[in-house]
C-alpha cells in the first residue's frame, strides 16, 4: 500500500477470499476511493471532484479478470507468485532508476510468468487527492509516461497486448470525436450552421453512460456527469497530458518525473 493510503478494515479478508477462489491469480487490486477532502476554492473543489470521478469510473469499468495493472494504492499478492518472481529475476519491484511505475512493471512481469491479476470493488483503498491541477498533471504524466516506457521495453507480448489494443481504440475514438466537434464548431463559425440533430443521440448515450459509471458516488455526481460539457472540457486537459507523456517517452526526456 502507498503511504497516503488507508485500507478498508476488511480489505485483507476480502482479497484473500478472492485469491482463494482462483489459484492462478497472483494478486487482487484495490478499488480506489478519494479521501474526504474539501478544496479551499471552487477551482480546487473541481480538481478534487474530477479525481473522485476518475477513480470511481475506473473502479466500475476495470476488467475484473487480468486487469491492466495492480494498484500501488493497495494490492494483495499471493506469496507463491512473488517467490516465483524473485526466483526469476531476484526482486519483486525492478530497481531501475527509470522505472516510474513499479506497480505496473511488476504486473507485467507476473503476467509474463503466466499469472493473472484481478480487481475487486469491495477491496477498497482510500487515497489522498491532489489539490492543484499542476500536481495532478505531474502525476498523470508520470503514470502515462511510465506506462509507455514499459510498453517500449516489453514490446507486444502476452502481458501488454490487451492494454495496448485498448489504448489504440481509445485514442482513435477520441481523435474521431475531436475532429467531429471541431468541424461542427468551424461550420457554425463560418456559416452559422446548426448542429445536426442526429448527433444528439450519441451525445445523450455518452452522457448517460458517464452517469451510470459513477452511480455509486451519488446522484449529485451523476447529474454533474450528465451535463457532459464539464467532462469534455477536462478531457482537453487530459489530451494535453497525454501528448506530453507521448513526447517525453519518445524523446526520452524528463527523467525527473518523480518530482
Distance, in Å, from the CA atom of 9 to the CA atom of 226, rounded to the nearest integer, reads 33
Q: Residue 86 to residues 1, 113, 201, 254, 259: CA-CA distances in angstroms? A: 19, 11, 52, 30, 29
Estimate to the nearest angstrom the gap between the alpha carbon of 40 and the chain centroid: 26
Report helix, strand or coil for 5: strand
Q: Strand 5-7 to strand 116-127: parallel, antiparallel, or no bridges (unpaired)?
A: antiparallel
Residue 139, burial from CB neighbour count under 10 angstroms (0-12, 13-18, 19+): middle
Q: What's the pLDDT tens digit per position in 97-136?
A: 889 999 999 999 999 999 999 999 899 999 999 999 999 9
pTM: 0.86
Distance, in Å, from the CA atom of 156 to the CA atom of 154, rounded to the nearest integer, reads 7
The count of other CB atoms within 10 Å of the CB of residue 8 is: 18
Q: What's the pLDDT tens digit per position in 35-89?
A: 988 888 999 999 999 999 999 888 777 656 678 899 989 999 999 999 999 999 9
Q: Say if residue 188's pLDDT is above 60.
A: yes
pLDDT above 70 as % of the chain: 93
Does residue 118 contact residue 143 with C-beta atoms inside 8 Å?
A: no
Residue 39: all three cell numbers together: 478544496
User: What are the domain boundaries of the chain?
Assistant: 5-251
Q: Say if residue 195's pLDDT is above 90.
A: no
Q: What's the pLDDT tens digit per position in 232-257?
A: 889 889 989 999 999 988 887 555 44
Q: Considering only CA atoms, which of 68, 91, 71, 58 is closest in space to residue 15?
A: 71
Amino acid at each position: 500500500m502507498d503511504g497516503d493510503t488507508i485500507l478498508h478494515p476488511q480489505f485483507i479478508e476480502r482479497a484473500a477470499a478472492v485469491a482463494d477462489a482462483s489459484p492462478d491469480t497472483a494478486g487482487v487490486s484495490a478499488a480506489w476511493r478519494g479521501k474526504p477532502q474539501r478544496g479551499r476554492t471552487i477551482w480546487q473543489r473541481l480538481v478534487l471532484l474530477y479525481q473522485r470521478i476518475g477513480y470511481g469510473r475506473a473502479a466500475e469499468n476495470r476488467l475484473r479478470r487480468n486487469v491492466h495493472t495492480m494498484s500501488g494504492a493497495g494490492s494483495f499478492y499471493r506469496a507463491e507468485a512473488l517467490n516465483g518472481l524473485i526466483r526469476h529475476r531476484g526482486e519483486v519491484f525492478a530497481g531501475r532508476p527509470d522505472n516510474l511505475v513499479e506497480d505496473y512493471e511488476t504486473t507485467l512481469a507476473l503476467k509474463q510468468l503466466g499469472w493473472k491479476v484481478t480487481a475487486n470493488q469491495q477491496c477498497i483503498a482510500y487515497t489522498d487527492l491532489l489539490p492543484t491541477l499542476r500536481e495532478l498533471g505531474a502525476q498523470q504524466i508520470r503514470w502515462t509516461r511510465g506506462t509507455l516506457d514499459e510498453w517500449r521495453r516489453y514490446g507486444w507480448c502476452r502481458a501488454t497486448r490487451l492494454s495496448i489494443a485498448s489504448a489504440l481504440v481509445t485514442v482513435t475514438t477520441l481523435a474521431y470525436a475531436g475532429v467531429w466537434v471541431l468541424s461542427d464548431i468551424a461550420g457554425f463559425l463560418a456559416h452559422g450552421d446548426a448542429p445536426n440533430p442526429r448527433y444528439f443521440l450519441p451525445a445523450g448515450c455518452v452522457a448517460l453512460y458517464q452517469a451510470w459509471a459513477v452511480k455509486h458516488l451519488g446522484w449529485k455526481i451523476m447529474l454533474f456527469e450528465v451535463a457532459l460539457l464539464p467532462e469534455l472540457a477536462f478531457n482537453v486537459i487530459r489530451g494535453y497530458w497525454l501528448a506530453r507523456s507521448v513526447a517525453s517517452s519518445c524523446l526520452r526526456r524528463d527523467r525527473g518525473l518523480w518530482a
